[in-house]
Amino acid sequence: MSSPVIGGGAPKGRRGWAAVALFLALLFTLPALAVEPSEVLPDPALEARAREIGRSLRCVVCQNQSIDDSSAEVAHDMRRAVRERLVAGDSNGDVFAYMVARYGDYVLLKPPFKAGTLILWLGAPLLLLLAGAALLLAARRRRHTPIAAPKPLDEEERRRLDALLKG
């Protein structure tokens, strides 16, 4: 009977799972590395507020990543600005207003529903509806268009076909 152990190491299936586990562990620890120890505020309450705000602000370079998760230089600057505003006594709303004034509504991971952000909110559903309508029209056209029967082979084509089939 053969042993499931190859070369004295872990069983073949376990090595695969170990690699997946290691990959997932690294993947989930990367965001924790984004906020540098030098950025952490000594007051735990202010730091908690800074983290909450940081998770709601978009890194303007990374697009769909919060400034708390991003290691980009601009995200570092944004995190520093958030902490400076909080230390200065600003409320969370004041910090958001400051960041929106500086970067626009795009900086918010959940932008407000208003005229300037309609494309952000309605763009994807509208595009999906248009694609569905186009597919529906194409299916209707295909269903109503009769398929023409192929024309019969002439004598020359029939001779060539017979020659190909024989040889």
CA distances (Å), 2 to each of 12, 17, 112, in order? Answer: 13, 22, 63
User: Which sequence spans correspond to the domains of the chain?
Assistant: 12-109, 114-140
Residues 41-76 have pLDDT tens digits of 888 898 999 999 999 999 988 878 999 888 889 999
Query: What CA–CA distance (Å, rounded) separates 66 from 55?
Result: 5
Give the mean model confidence (pLDDT) for residues 119-146.
Answer: 86
Give the mean model confidence (pLDDT) for residues 128-138.
Answer: 93
- In the chain the first and final C-alpha atoms are separated, in Å, by 54
User: Which tokens in the block code for residue 118?
Assistant: 């309609």
Could you please state the CATH topology (level 3) that the domain comprising 12-109 is classified under.
Helicase, Ruva Protein; domain 3 (1.10.8)
* Contact yes or no for 63/72 (Cβ under 8 A): no
DSSP sequence for 6-33 = STTSSBHHHHHHHHHHHHHHHHHHHHHH
Q: Find the range with the poorest average confidence among 7-11, 13-17, 71-75, 79-83.
A: 7-11
Can you give the pTM of this predicted structure?
Answer: 0.54
Nearest-CA neighbor of 71 among 83, 84, 59? Answer: 59
- Residue 31: pLDDT over 50: no
Buried b or exposed e, range 76-96, using 16+ CB within 10 angstroms: bebbebbbebbeeebeeeebb
